[in-house]
Amino acid sequence: MTVAAGGHAPFGFGGRLRIFRRLFLMVAALLVCLPLHLIAHPFTRHSPFPRLFLRSLAWIAGARVEVVGTPLQRQVFFLANHVSWLDIPALAGASGTAFVAKAEIAQAPLIGWLCRLNHTVFVQREARRDVAAQVNALRDALAENHAVTIFPEGTTTDGRSLLPFKTAMLKVLEPPPGEVMVQPVLLDYGAHSEFIGWVGAESGVSNAKKILARRGSFVLRVHFLEAFSPVQYPGRKAIAAAAREQIEAALRETGGGELRPFGHNVAAVRYAAPARDHVES
């Protein structure tokens, strides 16, 4: 498939129809889950409906999530590789985790509000002098027994690469609050990784359209790897290295060999979808 200028892939009538159908189903899921959440929220600190809604988003977008391993539920810091915006609904649906997200997302209509419903911690990635405040916000989230996820690569990849981990947000683990654990997570899109991956000059809207226009479904395996106590390691860099080692080993195993060097270029993205795992009715 030829890629149009600006990184947009052209869609035929069938692709546009799938986009509209999936968006309609996402809105319908919101209209079901939101009132139920508002009813349940005064009676529980952990309403199940944001998690149900996010799980539905991943399914509607075509992801058939398979959980490998057991996610911890409370006082856990998940460190995961980052491939797509789909990582967030899939991982939240599988574990109920909250996320650390860029502060500008908080200003986005509807999306920012939905993120707040899921206890998202918003940070200014470029505001180094505000790191202490950001770490305190993370510490508060963990103190409320939330599971919290960060993507320490700081950006998305093609799913077969792994970038160095940034450790600023891991300062919350120096020292670790309470009995918090760290659990590495591998998000594995298999043969669909390059197609799903949001890389290069491709915009978020283009990536979303490309995925929503895709025929059929695909398997996303969420591997919850061996959890460990951060007190076993001397500081955030050692903690990040231990988590990255596990994720890299799992990625090598699922990918069948060496990791691929990662370069941010549009040519790394396959706009033609690979063979489907399942076909929608």
Q: Dihedral of CA 176/178/179/185: which sign?
A: negative
Q: What is the pLDDT of residue 130?
A: 63
Regarding pTM above 0.75, the answer is yes
Contacts of 157 (CB under 8 A, 6+ apart): 81, 82, 83, 163, 197, 199, 262
Q: What is the pLDDT of residue 237?
A: 94
Cα angle: 58, vertex 24, 36; to 5 degrees: 70
First vs last C-alpha separation in the chain: 24
CA distance 263 to 110: 33
Q: What is the pLDDT of residue 218?
A: 94
Q: What is the pLDDT of residue 278?
A: 44
Residue pLDDT tens, the chain, 281 long: 434 434 445 678 889 999 999 999 999 999 999 899 889 888 887 788 888 998 999 999 999 999 999 999 888 999 999 998 899 889 989 998 888 777 666 666 566 677 777 777 777 655 555 666 667 777 777 766 578 898 998 888 888 888 899 888 888 888 888 788 999 999 999 889 888 988 877 877 888 899 999 999 999 999 999 999 999 998 999 999 999 999 999 998 887 666 766 554 433 333 334 444 443 43
Helices (H), the chain: 13-40, 49-60, 87-95, 111-117, 131-143, 193-196, 204-212, 236-255
* 274 prior amide bond cis, ω within 30: no
Q: What letter would DSSP give residue 200?
A: T
Listed as own residue / partner, the contacts of 122-130 with beta carbons closer than 8 Å and 24 or more positions apart are 123/169, 125/154, 128/168
Q: What is the pLDDT of residue 145?
A: 57
CA distance 5 to 222: 34
Q: 82, 281, 118, 44: which is closest to 197 by C-alpha?
A: 82
**Beta-carbon-side half-sphere exposure of residue 277 (alpha carbons within 13 Å):** 13
